[in-house]
Amino acid sequence: MIVTIVYIQIKEPYIPDFIDATLFNHRHSVEEYGNLRFDFLQDADDPTKFVLYEAYESPRAAADHKLTAHYKTWCKLVDPWMAVPRKGVKYEVVAPLSPDKW
């Protein structure tokens, strides 16, 4: 299992557009083979900041996400709305290790 946490900051006028585009990406990403979670979060203290919490069964499944049409469409749409470049940090899972907990 592998988790990528993606940190995103959006220029304020584009927040509603970003949310719509990312809900589209979320809906399709959770249907990918090997996806375990794709949580979409907004910072409680700064509404311009967002997090994607992307859990996949394997590094291969995580890499395959970037080949999907919905990911490519999302990048093309949202990248111009970002206040700073988005940043992904990769994590190994310590717990829970049981696949049925994901």
Among 31, 41, 60, 72, binds its own copies (CB under 8 A): 41
Residues 10, 13: Cα–Cα separation, whole Å: 8
Among 9, 42, 68, 73, binds its own copies (CB under 8 A): 42
- 23 near its own copies, rule: CB under 8 A: yes
Give residue 21's Cα distance to chain centre.
12
CB of 92 to its own copies, least distance (A): 5
CB of 38 to its own copies, least distance (A): 8
Three-state DSSP class for 20? helix
- 45 near its own copies, rule: CB under 8 A: yes
The sign one gets for the Cα dihedral 3, 89, 66, 13 is positive
Quote the tokens at residue 75. 């990048």
- 100 near its own copies, rule: CB under 8 A: no
Residues 42, 50: Cα–Cα separation, whole Å: 4
Residues of the shown chain interacting with its own copies in the complex, contacts defined by CB under 8 A: 2-3, 5, 19, 22-23, 26, 30, 39-45, 50-51, 53, 89-96
